[in-house]
Structure 1
Amino acid sequence: MLERSHLMVVREVERQGSLTGAADVLNITQSALSHTVKKLEQQLGTPVWTREGRSMRLTQAGQYLLGLANRLLPQFEHAEARMKQYAQGERGTLRIGMECHPCYQWLLKVVSPYLARWPDVDVDVKQRFQFGGIGALFGYDIDVLVTPDPLMKPGLRFQPVFDYEQVLVVADGHALANEPYVTPAHLSSEVLITYPVETDRLDIYTQFLTPANIVPRRHKVIETTDIMLQMVASGRGVAALPRWLAEEYAESMPLTPLRLGKKGIAKQIFLGTREADDAIDYLSAFVALARDAEWAEARFRA
């Protein structure tokens, strides 16, 4: 009774806000779409929309169908794209979502040899994924999620890739540069530069500042690592980054990485995938390559 085409109608009418707009996108006439809508509601025995002039608002039943459409239709579209790739002699496209801003440089070191080993697989990286990474995996928007904060859910698998230490990065001439480690109180007079991520997802807050009831003098957001560390090197602020990344930049810039607290902050990077995709060889090969010690360059040093 309920067909894929019905879900497509529900999703598109909601997106466009009217039958006219939905009909244009679906490439059918408005009268044909009106007939489909009427027939669907008759078959279901309940209204799916309420009409408000030319606009249409989903009923409770309609909201349920919309949720179903948003879950199922991306899977159909993903499957069709994959079948098309198979038909063209391609293996597919590996879509990677990044919840770890500074991991882009690490990812480049994995992607390069991966592409060499799998010439018939393309890679698409969603670096600005912000964010609902778990929903993106379930919704088939991505195939792999790179994250330091896995959320264990039935149907998903998270595998640790490497360990690292989160450190504070300051300019070589900064007053803290010679300290053996920094305390939360040290940051109360500092400009803290971070990526554009909510503070409740930033380790420097959740594992360091917030438990101590400390806030920095100012919190500044910068999207790119290069500009962030240029600002730090020029004395415009401090930043929290993985030690391996800080040390890599410190080879060419006047930067000093400092331990956060006496014991430091230990973290891990995980790769999240769908359990249903375990049999996909090129996906499992990517995870295996990423976990190889050759690419996990930096380990947390106690």
Structure 2
Amino acid sequence: MDKTMRFDLISLSLFVAVAETQNLTHAARIKHTAVSAVSKRISELEQQVGTQLMLRMPRGITLTPAGHSLLYHARQVFRNLEKMEEELSDYAAGIRGHIRIYTISAALMNHLPRVVSDYLSHYPQTDIEIEEQTGMSVVQGLLAGEADVGFFSSWTPSAGIEYWPWQHDLLSVLVWPSHPLAARSELTFADIVNEKMIGSHRNSAVSHILERQARALGKTLNMGLRVSSFVSMAELVAQQLGIAVLPVNEVASSTLHSGVRVIPLTEPWARRDLLVGVRDYGQASPSVKTLLGNLLPAEQAVQPEGEAERR
């Protein structure tokens, strides 16, 4: 015997309206429906689920625990319907998908442009938005539903996110050509800890790890300037206003500025993973899954590392 409950969308919509206004009359007015019809729909829902969903109080409506549960799931249903309608409208308009990407600077500078270019060569009508953010803002954007895909580093706490290893990078030191360290092929953090530095914004993962490593050496970093752009940092280095530490080991000096040298740090902690993540792979749009499929082996995309950690 099939015991699956089949809910009517009109009844669910009326239920949500009543729950949100906490008043049958107000909900009926919003939905352009008679109060008696709204009350009848709610009663039918309660009969269907086999328990009371609302308490009729003198001054309005109060949800029971079962009512709160139904409200949560009903809202999810309508959000998914809106997402479906938006995506199908995109197909009808020839866009064939919309992807919102939040990314840290390192991914945007080193790898992401190639990824986007390759994807758009196969799906040229996809609409892609890219916003540069700090690692924490990338994760928060994914959790809030503001971003569909996020690129961040393994240094960033990522609870609640499904993610996969994607690339690796290495912190490197930017110096001007006549700087005493410019002739070196590699550097340790002790070589630069006393230098005047140009730092990224205070909330960046790079800033946090450099400050932590300086404290481990009993030092305090001399941050003369802070800017958020890698290119701006390189410009300031070229003007000999300080050195900088950035995850740009694979970027040619001339890409940032012809007046700087890029020298890798040899510290083990200077190496990190770049991750790609989503809030919920199972709920991701076909466009997002296709993008991830281009980045990752199929079996890896199905089982993200972040999901395993949360279980």
Normalising by the residue count of structure 2, what TM-score does the alignment of the two structures yield? 0.63
Q: Could you tell me which residue of structure 2 aligns to residue 214 of structure 1?
A: 219
Q: CA deviation at 1:253?
A: 1.0
Q: Could you tell me which residue of structure 2 aligns to residue 43 of structure 1?
A: 61
Q: Could you tell me which residue of structure 2 aligns to residue 103 of structure 1?
A: 107
Q: CA deviation at 1:94?
A: 0.9
Which one of 190, 196, 206 corresponds to residue 190 of structure 1?
Answer: 196
2:179 and 2:137 map into 1 onto residues whose CA distance is 37
Q: Deviations over 1:86-107 (max 9, x none)?
A: 4445422011111x11322332
1:240 and 1:176 map into 2 onto residues whose CA distance is 13
Q: CA deviation at 1:192?
A: 2.7
Q: Could you tell me which residue of structure 1 aligns to residue 236 of structure 2?
A: 231
Question: In the alignment, is the contact (CA less than 8 A) between 1:200 and 1:206 conserved in 2?
Answer: no
Q: Deviations over 1:193-233 (max 9, x none)?
A: 22x24166635425632432322222422122222111111
Alignment of 1:32-71 (within 5 A): 42-44=60-62
Q: Could you tell me which residue of structure 1 aligns to residue 25 of structure 2?
A: none
Question: In the alignment, is the contact (CA less than 8 A) between 2:100 and 2:147 conserved in 1?
Answer: yes
Q: Percent identity?
A: 16
Q: Could you tell me which residue of structure 1 aligns to residue 97 of structure 2?
A: 92
Which one of 136, 139, 145 corresponds to residue 144 of structure 2?
Answer: 139
Normalising by the residue count of structure 1, what TM-score does the alignment of the two structures yield? 0.64
Q: Could you tell me which residue of structure 2 aligns to residue 268 of structure 1?
A: 273
1:80 and 1:6 map into 2 onto residues whose CA distance is 24
Question: In the alignment, is the contact (CA less than 8 A) between 1:204 and 1:240 conserved in 2?
Answer: no
Which one of 282, 290, 298 corresponds to residue 285 of structure 1?
Answer: 290
1:137 and 1:8 map into 2 onto residues whose CA distance is 26
Unaligned 5+ residue runs, structure 2? 1-11, 23-29, 31-55, 298-311
Q: Which has the larger radius of gyration?
A: 2
Question: In the alignment, is the contact (CA less than 8 A) between 1:185 and 1:214 conserved in 2?
Answer: no
CA RMSD of aligned residues (A): 3.8
Question: In the alignment, is the contact (CA less than 8 A) between 1:115 and 1:122 conserved in 2?
Answer: no
Amino acid at match of 1:43: I
Change (3 A) 1:193 1:129: closer
1:86 and 1:197 map into 2 onto residues whose CA distance is 42
1:137 and 1:118 map into 2 onto residues whose CA distance is 23
1:153 and 1:251 map into 2 onto residues whose CA distance is 33
> Residue 121 in 1 paired to residue 118 in 2?
no
Q: CA deviation at 1:115?
A: 1.1
Change (3 A) 1:236 1:277: same
Which one of 169, 174, 179 corresponds to residue 169 of structure 1?
Answer: 174
2:173 and 2:295 map into 1 onto residues whose CA distance is 26
Q: CA deviation at 1:268?
A: 1.3
1:246 and 1:263 map into 2 onto residues whose CA distance is 20
SS of equivalent residue, structure 1 residue 244: coil
Change (3 A) 1:181 1:250: farther
Q: CA deviation at 1:235?
A: 0.8
